[in-house]
């Protein structure tokens, strides 16, 4: 049996969902590699999920020592493919052991140490924080720490085939840098689904693009894939246009002279045979480009500054608990473009909740403009969705003043959901597609200030780029918590570090901050050698 990253007894509902999904999945394929090989090759692979074809007669090829980034648009079936591999629904030899990390550890009464010991704990990595791990139960950990526990299980085992589905979700930037550095030396087969272009560039030796129900293979990291794909598609379009020009010319000649003089008729017949040979030999397909999205945050209108004033604010969760923040002072306006960075537990999400009014300071004041509307996106927002309803019906329920269903269709369509995706139950959509529904819901509130807490989780890179463009076009203010270096570089004008009960401005861009994390990691490594 493969080991998965969320197989605790307390997570029975997730397991039931997984097996329920399996009942709807039809997988066919033939083992192409040698039964004892450490490489994996499956030919004639097809996968059907909920009646929809995800892959049709394609090849899965994973070679030992290679690190693959699995990419593709939201809803194309990346996670379903990983689940099919992880559950051994494909003909995978028994000697290839598999670890499939799907999400952070589920909340439970086990300690973090017990969770890792289930897979022969990684003692060396945990010893320096053993006291901390021995007494806190998993259910009391943040999502970031539960993801670290799941990763500790995966990285200690070092399976022949490791499947990581969005492993950077919930991690802080420092942990992302550590994971990136660690995975670059993984010597077996690694397959990663990640929305982070920066992470894929640092880790991957190969890219697999799930496109048009096929698996397309590219050598190199993500940037190399982009360049190679551009060149291949450019050459394909040139060949396609040349063939179409030749076909049009020959058809025109045949039509004009096919019944003319004997000489012209013979030439027309010759061209007709040439045309037939071209068709029988296979014509070049026109390039099918990925559908582009165009997110949009509604016009929020202007309100005069100051929009938010944070004055001498301190905060702790319990009266006798440690201070998270002490004596904060800053202001926010509609031209604010700030990214919050810092380690897990330093209070990035807490600060957003304070600004939104979901938490209250234990001392000091937070003054908000009386007309200010705040839109806060966070990782648990999807829980407001009624998964038995369609996206269209759910949005109509949320905004009953919207009487025209066609207008609501256009609103949802702007976020990349069209046709059957709008009318099928939300439970049949991918995580990324459900996130788009949430963004549509959030945008229609017309907020003045966006507080975005890890908005890229489950989104593909095309959707993240669309989100970045929408943020840059937005007339209001924005504060962002994200582990995606590229998104931060696209939208943030200031980097604020949350650490040691205070917030300080970083004098530089996000990539200089990343370099500082890499340098700190290298120093730590050198001290422990």
pLDDT of residue 31: 86
User: What band does 115 get if pLDDT is binned at 50, 70 and 90?
Assistant: low
pLDDT of residue 104: 54
pLDDT (tens digit, 9 = 90+) per residue, 76-112? 889 999 999 999 999 999 999 999 987 554 555 666 5
pLDDT (tens digit, 9 = 90+) per residue, 349-393? 999 999 999 999 999 999 999 999 999 999 888 889 999 999 999
* pLDDT exceeds cutoff 70 at 114: no
User: What band does 156 get if pLDDT is binned at 50, 70 and 90?
Assistant: confident
State the Cα–Cα distance between residues 161 and 40, nearest whole angstrom.
9
User: What band does 275 get if pLDDT is binned at 50, 70 and 90?
Assistant: confident
- Mean per-residue pLDDT, 265-287: 87
More confident residue, 505 or 76: 505
Q: Can you identify the CATH homologous superfamily of domain 308-528?
A: P-loop containing nucleotide triphosphate hydrolases (3.40.50.300)
pLDDT of residue 402: 87
pLDDT (tens digit, 9 = 90+) per residue, 293-315? 778 898 888 898 889 999 999 99
* pLDDT exceeds cutoff 50 at 11: no
Give the three-state DSSP class for 164.
Answer: strand
* pLDDT exceeds cutoff 50 at 190: yes
pLDDT of residue 4: 43
* pLDDT exceeds cutoff 50 at 10: no
Strand partners, 30: 43
- Mean per-residue pLDDT, 410-432: 90
pLDDT of residue 106: 53
More confident residue, 83 or 525: 83
Q: Which of 181, 165, 185 is nearest to 173 (CA)?
A: 181
Place of tokens 């509307």: 373
Least confident of 13-27, 136-150, 408-422: 13-27
- Are 467 and 442 within 8 A, CB to CB? no
Highest mean pLDDT among 170-179, 268-277, 437-446: 437-446
pLDDT of residue 416: 85
Instruction: Establish whether domains 12-121+130-220 and 308-528 are of one fold.
Output: yes
Highest mean pLDDT among 274-278, 318-322, 341-345, 475-479: 475-479
Q: Which of 145, 177, 148, 167 is nearest to 510 (CA)?
A: 177
Q: What is the mean pLDDT of the chain?
A: 85
Strands 98-101 and 3-4: parallel
39 to 32, 126, 220, 366, 401: CA distances (angstroms): 10, 32, 18, 58, 58
pLDDT (tens digit, 9 = 90+) per residue, 20-70? 444 446 788 888 888 788 999 999 999 988 778 899 999 999 999 999 999
User: What band does 423 get if pLDDT is binned at 50, 70 and 90?
Assistant: very high
Give the three-state DSSP class for 323.
Answer: coil
pLDDT of residue 110: 67
pLDDT of residue 158: 84
pLDDT of residue 102: 78
pLDDT of residue 485: 94
pLDDT of residue 199: 94
Q: Can you identify the CATH homologous superfamily of domain 12-121+130-220?
A: P-loop containing nucleotide triphosphate hydrolases (3.40.50.300)
User: What band does 510 get if pLDDT is binned at 50, 70 and 90?
Assistant: very high
* pLDDT exceeds cutoff 90 at 208: yes
User: What band does 123 get if pLDDT is binned at 50, 70 and 90?
Assistant: very low
pLDDT (tens digit, 9 = 90+) per residue, 227-260? 999 999 999 999 999 999 999 988 888 888 877 7
- Are 375 and 447 within 8 A, CB to CB? yes
* pLDDT exceeds cutoff 70 at 501: yes
How deeply is 22 buried, as exposed, middle or buried, from its count of CB atoms within 10 A (0-12, 13-18, 19+)? Answer: middle
Least confident of 170-184, 255-269, 315-329: 255-269
pLDDT of residue 172: 86
Per-domain residue ranges of the chain: 12-121+130-220, 230-281, 308-528
Q: Is the peptide bond before 462 cis (omega within 30 degrees of 0)?
A: no
Alpha carbon 113 to its chain's center = 28
State the Cα–Cα distance between residues 158 and 99, nearest whole angstrom.
8
């Amino acid at each position: 049996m493969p080991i998965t990253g969320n197989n605790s007894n307390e997570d029975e509902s997730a397991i039931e969902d997984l097996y329920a999904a399996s009942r709807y999945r039809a997988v066919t394929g033939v083992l192409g590699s040698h039964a004892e090989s450490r490489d994996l090759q499956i030919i004639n692979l097809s996968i059907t999920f909920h009646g929809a074809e995800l892959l049709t007669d394609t090849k899965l090829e994973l070679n030992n020592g290679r690190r693959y980034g699995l990419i593709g648009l939201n809803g194309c079936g990346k996670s379903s493919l990983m689940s099919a591999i992880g559950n051994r629904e494909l003909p995978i030899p028994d000697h290839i052991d598999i670890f499939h990390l799907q999400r952070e550890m589920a909340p439970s009464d086990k300690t973090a140490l017990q969770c890792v010991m289930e897979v022969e704990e990684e003692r060396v990595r945990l010893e320096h924080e053993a006291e901390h791990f021995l007494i806190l139960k998993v259910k009391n950990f943040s999502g970031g720490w539960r993801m670290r526990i799941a990763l500790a299980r995966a990285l200690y085992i070092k399976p022949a085939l490791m499947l990581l589905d969005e492993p950077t979700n919930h991690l802080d930037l420092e942990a992302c840098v550590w994971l990136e550095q660690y995975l670059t030396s993984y010597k077996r087969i690694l397959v990663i689904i990640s929305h982070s272009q920066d992470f894929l560039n640092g880790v991957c030796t190969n890219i697999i693009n799930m496109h048009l129900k096929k698996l397309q293979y590219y050598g190199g990291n993500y940037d190399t894939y982009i360049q190679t794909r551009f060149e291949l598609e450019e050459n394909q379009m040139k060949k396609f246009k040349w063939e179409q020009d030749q076909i049009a010319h020959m058809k025109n000649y045949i039509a004009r002279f096919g019944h003319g003089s004997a000489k012209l008729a013979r030439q027309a017949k010759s061209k007709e045979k040439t045309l037939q040979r071209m068709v029988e030999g296979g014509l070049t397909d026109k390039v099918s480009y990925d559908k582009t999205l165009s997110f949009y945050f509604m016009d929020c209108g202007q309100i005069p500054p100051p929009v938010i004033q944070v004055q001498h604010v301190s905060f702790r969760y319990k009266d006798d608990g440690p201070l998270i923040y002490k004596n904060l002072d800053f202001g926010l306006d509609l031209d604010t473009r700030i990214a919050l960075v810092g380690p897990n537990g330093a209070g990035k999400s807490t600060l957003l909740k304070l600004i939104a009014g979901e938490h209250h300071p234990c001392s000091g004041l937070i003054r908000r403009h009386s007309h200010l509307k705040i839109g806060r996106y966070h990782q648990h927002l999807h829980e407001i969705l009624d998964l038995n309803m369609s996206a269209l019906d759910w949005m109509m329920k949320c905004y009953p003043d919207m009487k025209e269903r066609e207008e609501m269709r256009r609103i949802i369509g702007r976020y990349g959901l069209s046709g059957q995706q709008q009318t099928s139950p939300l439970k049949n959509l991918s995580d990324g597609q459900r996130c788009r529904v949430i963004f549509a819901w959030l945008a229609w509130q017309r907020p003045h200030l966006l507080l975005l807490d890890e908005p890229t989780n489950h989104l593909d890179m095309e959707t993240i780029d669309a989100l970045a463009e929408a943020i840059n076009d937005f007339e209001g203010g924005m504060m962002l918590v994200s582990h995606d270096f590229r998104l931060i570089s696209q939208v943030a004008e200031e980097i604020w570090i949350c650490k040691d009960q205070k917030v300080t401005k970083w004098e530089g861009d996000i990539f200089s901050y990343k370099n500082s994390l890499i340098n700190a990691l290298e120093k730590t490594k050198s001290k422990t050698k």
